[in-house]
A = this chain, B = another copy of it.
Amino acid sequence: MKCIVQKFGGTSLGTIEKIHNAAQKVKLEVARGHKIAVVVSAMAGMTNRFIKSAESISNASDDSEYDVVVSAGEQISSGLMALALQKIGVPARSFLGWQLPILTDGSYKKARVKRVITKEIFRAFAKKKVAVIAGFQGIDDNNRITTLGRGGSDITAVVLASALKAERCDIFTDVKGIYTCDPRIVKSAQKLDKITYEEMVEMSSLGSKVLQSRSVEVAMKKKVRLHVLSSFSNEKGTMVVDESEILEKQAVSGIACNANESKITLVGISDKPGVAAKIFGPLSDANINVDMIVQNVSADGSLTDLTFTVDKSDLKKVVSVLSKRKTAINFKKLIPDSSVAKISIVGIGMRSYPGVAQNMFKTLAKNKINILVISTSEIKISVLIARNKAKLAQRSLHKAFRLQKND
């Protein structure tokens, strides 16, 4: 008897009707004789309302209390899903983070899972019950509720699939799979049958919001087979698999856009060793992830500028952390800029095809799109551009790399 984890995102649970629909997807697999663990997100919009409440009280200064508030949505979904399953004759019971428990570290708002205790789930399986697990939440060593960050339910699903040695982890969402580009922006975008973990990590972290990137990293490490599919269709979705499972590698598999980053430029810092540490040390201490970094070469070896990007939600914190250290770091001016977008091309085949970067830059130039920052990895090239050029960039690159349907 195989064990399968099925995760339903917020849009798949957005209404009572959609919860019933999701329950039917679970019933299908139960009917096939599988043991099912269901992981649920909060109903679409609910967590945002709770966040708004917490922030309107006090900018949510105490992250542990913030987590108490925002974890409520998954609790509600887990109870509702158990009820919906029972309604269609599928025995089920809900489990909250503290009831298994799912043990995490104590970094509230973005905790990391240390261990999942599966005893209760296997006990439910033994009673022929579907185990419905509230995603996104865990507890720390102090018995306090933690949350795993945006998209944290994906993490819950993956760590659970690994702990249960699940055959597969189905990620139900509102899109039919992973596309070569956002189909709302590029009409000719096509669905991929397969994508490698590495590409998916990049696509996710680059703004293709179907999967949370950390969850893909964990899936890759733990060899959890992910299946991304729509809960509103019966089509096969996209399998996220190991590189060895993909025979013909494209130079570029997809194009992603992330409009959720902000750019910060520190003007007039001294071009000496140790400056970067003075800047990024405190940011790291404040749990802020820095993405792209560019330091200009100073003409005379004395003063230079440094530009980096962070998640838009961290921008205020960055400004506060760095402003407090203005003297210690010794910069002239801090310029925040939120009107940017990061466009990335991703492909595991990039390693063996030369000229990909060249093609990208040429295409952008031809469309008069100015590149602010560039960053590259083995399988992706990202450029930061003005946000109002983001659509144009995606469309022209999608064409330039011949990703459109029937090509």
Q: Is the CB of A68 within 8 A of B96?
A: yes
Bound Cα distance from A157 to B78, whole angstroms:
28
Contact, CB under 8 Å: A83 / B64:
no
**A72 CB–B CB distance under 8 Å:** yes
B76 adjacent to A72 (CB under 8 Å): yes
* A75–chain B nearest beta-carbon distance, Å: 5
Return A90 CB to nearest CB of chain B, in Å. 12
When distances are taken between beta carbons in the complex, the residues of chain B under 8 Å from A68 are 75-76, 78-79, 82, 94, 96
Q: For A250, what are the chain B residues with a Cβ–Cβ distance below 8 Å?
A: none
Structural contact, A83 and B62, CB atoms closer than 8 A: yes
Q: For A94, list chain B residues within 8 Å (CB).
A: 65, 68
| Among A53-61, A110-118, A282-290, A395-403, the stretch in contact with B | A53-61
Contact partners of A315 in chain B: CB under 8 A: none
Determine the chain B residues whose CB is within 8 A of the CB of A228 once the complex forms: none
Whether the Cβ atoms of B83 and A60 lie closer than 8 Å is: yes
**Min distance, Cβ A50 to any Cβ of chain B, angstroms:** 6
Number of A interface residues at 8 Å Cβ cutoff, please give it: 39
Q: In the complex, which of the residues B56, B57, B75, B80 contacts A75, with contact meaning CB atoms closer than 8 Å?
A: B75
Q: How far is the CB of A30 from chain B (nearest CB, A)?
A: 17
Closest-by-CB residue of B relative to A62 is B86
Option from B57, B73, B82 in Cβ contact (under 8 Å) with A80: B57
CB–CB B16/A56 < 8 A: yes
Contact residues, A1-39 vs B (CB, 8 A): 16, 19-20
Question: Given A16-B56, A87-B57 in contact, is the A62-B82 Cβ separation under 8 Å?
Answer: yes
Q: Is A69 an interface residue (CB 8 A)?
A: yes
CB of A65 within 8 A of CB of B79, answer: yes
Taking CB atoms and an 8 Å cut-off, the chain A residues in 122-148 that contact chain B are 143-145
Does A263 sit within 8 A of B, measured CB to CB?
no
Per the 8 Å Cβ criterion, residues 74-114 of A in contact with B are 75-76, 78-80, 82-84, 86-87, 93-94, 96, 98-99
A146 to chain B, nearest CB (A): 13
Would you give 24 A-B contacts (Cβ < 8 Å), ordered by A? A16-B57, A19-B57, A20-B57, A53-B76, A54-B80, A57-B83, A57-B84, A57-B87, A58-B87, A60-B83, A61-B83, A61-B87, A62-B82, A65-B93, A68-B76, A68-B78, A68-B82, A68-B96, A69-B80, A71-B75, A72-B75, A75-B75, A96-B145, A98-B98
| A interface with B by C-beta (< 8 Å) | 16, 19-20, 50, 53-54, 56-58, 60-62, 64-69, 71-73, 75-76, 78-80, 82-84, 86-87, 93-94, 96, 98-99, 143-145
Q: A62-B86, A98-B98 are in contact. List 12 more A-B contacts (CB 8 A).
A: A16-B56, A20-B57, A54-B83, A57-B83, A57-B84, A58-B87, A60-B83, A65-B80, A68-B75, A68-B79, A68-B94, A72-B73
